[in-house]
């Protein structure tokens, strides 16, 4: 009995340790995650794109936690029955395109549903259109 | 395996699988009232510089006792927060009375302040103000406000976006005055 316990206890301890540490670096495919979270826009205007991201986030009821023009990064939080936190980055993709990437978490869970990101980019598409045409 | 058994097994498996799949809420779908919300949360200031609006906004936030958490001028962003009292005195009095009666009726056996512990105590208010320069020379300002309310035991009792139009109205009234003062150099 004692022998079994002496094997079982360290095994349980090790498995708990492994599952806690695996959360630090996610196990999903990097390529898949990037594809799901990224959209390409035919624009070179980083400032207008970031302003469109701000408009999108405010439309969706977020409060901005941090915004950095130089790093082209915005992080925002929405409080409801849950806490939804999203980070959006904008970077040059090539000489005439920008890549916008959003990653989101709800409480302690990463959102890994492509349809949810699709919803975000649908709202962003509209905001970019309105910003380009200077519509309030 | 008889036919009914196979059907039963299939039904059991499919119900098991369906219980595993969860429907994701529409986290990024704009609500029906997003146009109304935008109208409530935004104002347009005519013939002003964006920098003047931003300075006026920072001053107004300080007037209202907020601490500035984040400023990013190139994007027109200011985020601020404050902790404030959230006690409803009437509710507090009611729960105290309820707890006292419970204590007396149980001959001091249940004097745990159960109801008093559940009343709202403090709230953390966070807001973002974004200025949006327009081709017409006007500057639009949009504010979003959220708060988290904690009860006397320190537990979150509510977290939500502020949707009370009067709150935004009052904030923009202060901002309009401050923009005017900023233009006059006061």
Predicted-complex ipTM score: 0.77
Q: Could you tell me if residue B113 is inside a domain?
A: no
* A75-133 pLDDT, tens digit each: 999 998 899 999 999 999 988 999 999 999 999 899 989 999 999 999 999 999 888 77
Domain of B153?
Answer: 41-86+122-184
Q: pLDDT tens digits for B158-184?
A: 999 999 999 999 999 999 999 988 777
Of A36, A34, A45, which is closest to residue A97 (Cα–Cα)?
A: A45
What chain A residue is nearest to B139 in terms of C-alpha separation? Answer: A136
Q: Does the CA dihedral A5-A11-A15-A17 come out positive or negative?
A: positive
- Identify all chain B residues contacting A107, using CB atoms and an 8 Å cutoff: none
Domain-located, residue B68: yes
Overall domain count for chain B: 1
Asked if the structure places residue B58 within a domain, the reply is yes
A115 touches chain B (CB under 8 A): yes
- B116 within 8 A of B152, measured Cβ to Cβ: yes
Q: Is residue B23 part of a domain?
A: no
Q: Which residues does B contribute to its contact with A (CB < 8 Å)?
A: 24, 26-31, 34, 37-38, 41-42, 44, 69-70, 72, 74-77, 79, 126-128, 130, 132, 134-135, 140, 142, 144-148, 159-161
The whole-angstrom distance between B130's CA and the closest CA on chain A is 8
Q: Mark yes or no for CB contact B132/A134 under 8 Å.
A: no
Q: Is residue B20 included in any domain, yes or no?
A: no
**What is the spatial distance between Cα B127 and Cα B131, in angstroms, rounded to a whole number?**
13
Q: Is residue B54 part of a domain?
A: yes
* Distance between start and end Cα atoms, chain A: 74
Instruction: Write the CATH number for B81.
Output: 3.30.310.80
- Distance in angstroms (rounded) separating the CA atoms of residues B162 and B168: 9
What is the three-class DSSP state of A95? coil
* Confidence class for position A58, pLDDT limits 50, 70, 90: very high
Flag if A83 and B159 touch (Cβ within 8 Å): yes
3-class DSSP state for residue A13? helix
Q: Please name every residue paired with B143 in a beta bridge, in sequence order, or none if there are none.
A: B129
Q: Is residue B6 part of a domain?
A: no
Q: Which range, of A30-39, A94-103, B1-10, B86-95, averages the lowest pLDDT?
A: B1-10
A83, A123, A136 ranked by CB distance to B140: nearest: A136
Rounded Cα gap, residues A93 and B98, in angstroms: 64
Tell me, yes or no, if A106 comes closer than 8 A to chain B by beta carbon: yes
- B70 inside domain: yes
- Are the beta carbons of A124 and A100 closer than 8 angstroms? yes
Residues of B in contact with A48 (CB under 8 A): none
Distance from the B38 Cα atom to the nearest Cα atom in chain A, whole angstroms: 7
Which of the residues A57, A60, A65, A121 would you substitute to probe the B interface, choosing the one with the greatest number of B C-beta atoms within 10 Å? Answer: A60
Token couple for B97? 């009375």
Interface with B, mutate which of A47, A48, A64, A113 (most B CBs under 10 A):
A64
Whose tokens are 């999203």? That residue is A86
B136-to-A51, A67, B18, B73 alpha-carbon distances in Å: 17, 25, 55, 20
Smallest CA–CA distance from B79 into chain A, residue: A64
Write down the pLDDT at residue B32: 60
Classify each residue of B75-109 as buried b or exposed e, where b means 16 or more C-beta atoms within 10 Å of its C-beta.
bbbbbbbeeeebeeeeebeebeeebeebbeeeeee
Cβ atoms within 10 A of the Cβ of A67, count?
Answer: 28
**Tokens 């006007």 belong to residue:** B138
Q: Structural domains in chain A?
A: 30-132 (3.30.310.80)
pLDDT at B25: 78
């Amino acid at each position: 009995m004692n022998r079994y316990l002496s094997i079982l206890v360290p095994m349980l301890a090790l498995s708990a340790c492994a599952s806690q540490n695996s959360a630090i670096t996610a196990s999903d495919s990097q390529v898949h995650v990037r594809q799901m979270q990224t959209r390409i826009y035919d624009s070179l205007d980083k400032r207008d794109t970031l302003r469109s991201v701000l408009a999108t986030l405010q439309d969706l009821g977020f409060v901005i936690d941090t915004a950095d023009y130089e790093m082209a990064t915005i992080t925002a939080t929405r409080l409801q029955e849950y806490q939804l936190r999203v980070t959006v980055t904008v970077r040059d993709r090539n000489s005439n395109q920008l890549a916008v990437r959003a990653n989101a978490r709800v409480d302690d869970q990463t959102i890994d549903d492509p349809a949810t990101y699709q919803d975000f980019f649908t709202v962003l598409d509209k905001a970019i259109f309105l910003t380009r045409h200077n519509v309030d | 395996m008889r036919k009914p058994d196979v059907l039963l097994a299939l039904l059991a498996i499919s119900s098991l699988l369906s219980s595993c799949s969860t429907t994701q809420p529409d986290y990024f779908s704009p609500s029906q009232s997003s146009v109304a919300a935008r109208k409530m949360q935004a104002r347009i200031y005519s013939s002003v510089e964006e920098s003047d609006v931003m300075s006026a906004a920072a001053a107004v936030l300080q007037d209202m006792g907020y601490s500035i958490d984040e400023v990013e001028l190139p994007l027109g962003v200011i985020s601020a927060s404050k902790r404030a009292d959230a006690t409803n005195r009437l509710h507090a009095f009611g729960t105290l009375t309820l707890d006292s009666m419970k204590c007396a009726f149980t001959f001091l056996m249940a004097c745990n302040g159960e109801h008093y512990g559940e009343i709202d105590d403090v709230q953390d208010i966070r807001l973002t103000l974004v200025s949006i320069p327009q081709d017409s020379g006007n500057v639009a300002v949009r504010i979003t406000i959220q708060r988290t309310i904690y009860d006397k035991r320190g537990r979150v009792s509510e977290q939500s976006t502020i949707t009370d139009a009067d709150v935004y109205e009052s904030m923009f009234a202060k901002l309009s005055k401050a923009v005017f003062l900023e233009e006059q150099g006061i």
